[in-house]
Amino acid sequence: MSEPKKRARKSEAQHDKKDSVSDSYRDDTSHSAIKELPTDNSKLQTENMEVHHHPEVEKKGFKEYLLEGLMIFLAVFMGFVAENIRENISEHKRAAEFARSYFEDIKKDTAALNAAMRFSKHKVAVMDSAVTMLHYPGGKQNDTALYKQLSVSSNVMAFEPSSGTYEQIKSSGSLRYFDQKLVGLMNSYDVQTKKTVKREDIDLKFILDQVVPFAMQTSNTEVVYDIYFTRRISHELYIDKRNDYARQMINRVIIVKIERLRAMAEYAKQMKLSTEVLAELKKEYELE
C-alpha cells in the first residue's frame, strides 16, 4: 500500500475514534444529567416539605384548661361586680337627691299643717261663740259681732300638699332606691294626704252649697264685704226672720264645726306621719 493511502486511513481511524469518544462523552453526560436530576428534585421537594411542615402542638392537660376557664370566669365576674358597684353608687346618689327634695316637701307640708291647725282651732272657737249668740232669746244678739263670727265660720284655709317629688319618684320607678321602712312611711303619708284633702273638700262643698247661699238670702252681704276689705262696717246690719234664721244658721254652723273637727283629726294623723318621715330621712341621709 502506498504511503498516502496509509495516512488517509490513519486519519479516518483517528477521526472515527474522536467521534466515538465524543458520542461516548455525550452519552455519559446525558445519562449523568438524567441520573442527577431526580436527586436535585428530591432535595427541592425535601426542602419544600421542611418549609411547610407545622410543628406539633403540645396538648394541654385538664388542669390547664380548668385554670384558663377559671381566669375567664373571674374576669367576667369582676366586670359584673364592678358594674353593680357603679350602679349602686349611681342609685344611691339619685336616691339622696330625691330624699333631699322630698325632705323639703314634707317640711313645707308640716308648716302648712300647723298653720291649718291654728286656723281650725280659731275657727272652731269663733263658731262656738256664734252659736252662743244665736241662742240669745228675743233677738238680743250683737249683730256686728255675729256678722264677724259667721264670716269667719265660712272661711276656708285649704291644705295643699307638696306632692311633686313623691309623684316623680313613683313615676320614675325610683322607689326601689329607698329602704323598705322609708317606702312604707312615704306610701302611708301619701294615702293620708289624700284623706286630708278629701275631708277638706267635703268641708268646702258644704260651705259653698249650704252656708253661703243661706247667708246671702237672710243677711246683708255688703256687711261681709266691709268686714273683709274696709275694716269698717258702713252698711245696714240686718237678719231676716231672726227666729227661723237663728235655728237654721245654728244647724249649718254646727255641721261646719263637725267637718272642721274631722279635718283637724286628719291633720293630726298627717303631722304624726310627717314627723316619722322626716326622722327617717334624717337618719338615712343625714339631712337637717
For 176-238, the DSSP string reads GGS-HHHHHHHHHHHHHHHHHHHHHHHHHHHIIIIIHHHHHHHB-HHHHHIIIIISS--S---
Give the global pTM. Answer: 0.69
Which region among 49-58, 255-264, 267-276 has the lowest average model confidence (pLDDT)? Answer: 49-58
Radius of gyration for the alpha carbons in the chain, expressed in angstroms and rounded: 56
120/68: higher pLDDT: 120
SS3 content of the chain, % helix, strand, coil (to 5): 85, 0, 15
- Mean of the pLDDT values across residues 248-259? 95
Residue 104 in grid coordinates? 323639703
* pLDDT digits 0-9 by tens, 61-104: 767 777 777 788 877 877 777 667 666 666 778 888 999 999 99
Q: How far apart are CA 262 and CA 192, in angstroms?
A: 13
Tell me how far apart the 2 most distant CA atoms of the chain are, in Å: 202
Angle at 213 between CA 212 and CA 217, to 5 degrees: 115
Taking residue 171's Cβ as centre, other Cβ atoms within 10 Å add up to 8
